[in-house]
Chain A
Amino acid sequence: MLERYIKFLNTKSIDRVLVFANTPSYIYKHLKQESTVINLLKHKRFDELIADFDELLRMQEKEQEHFILIYAILFAIINSDDPRKSGYLSSLPNNTGIRWLKELIKIHFTSYIGTNNFHIQT
Chain B
Amino acid sequence: MAIITQTRRGNNIENEQDITEPTYGNRLEIEDLRSEYIGAIQRSNGYSSLYNCHGMTFASRRTGIYKLIEVNKILEEDNYCEVPLTEVLPGDVVLYYSISGDIEHSGIVIENKNHSGIRIPKILSKWGISFEMIHLVQNCPYYVGNIIKYYRNA
The docked-state distance in angstroms from the alpha carbon of A29 to that of B99 is 12
- Contact status B141-A16, CB under 8 Å: yes
- Contact status A120-B151, CB under 8 Å: yes
- Contact status B101-A115, CB under 8 Å: yes
Question: Min CB distance, B83 to chain A, in Å?
Answer: 7
Residue of A nearest to B24 (CB): A64
Count of chain A residues with a beta carbon within 8 Å of a chain B beta carbon: 27
The docked-state distance in angstroms from the alpha carbon of A116 to that of B68 is 10
Which residues of the partner chain B approach A100 to less than 8 Å between Cβ atoms? 66
Contact size range, B: 35 or more
Which residues of the partner chain A approach B52 to less than 8 Å between Cβ atoms? 22-23
- Contact status B81-A122, CB under 8 Å: yes
Which residues of the partner chain B approach A122 to less than 8 Å between Cβ atoms? 81-84
Residue of A nearest to B151 (CB): A120
- Contact status A20-B101, CB under 8 Å: no
CB-CB contacts of A6-25 with B at 8 A, as 1s and 0s? 00000000011011111111
Query: Which of B75, B81, B130 is within 8 Å of A20, CB to CB?
Result: B130
Pairs A–B under 8 Å by Cβ, sample size 7 = A19-B127, A22-B126, A25-B102, A29-B100, A114-B98, A115-B71, A117-B72
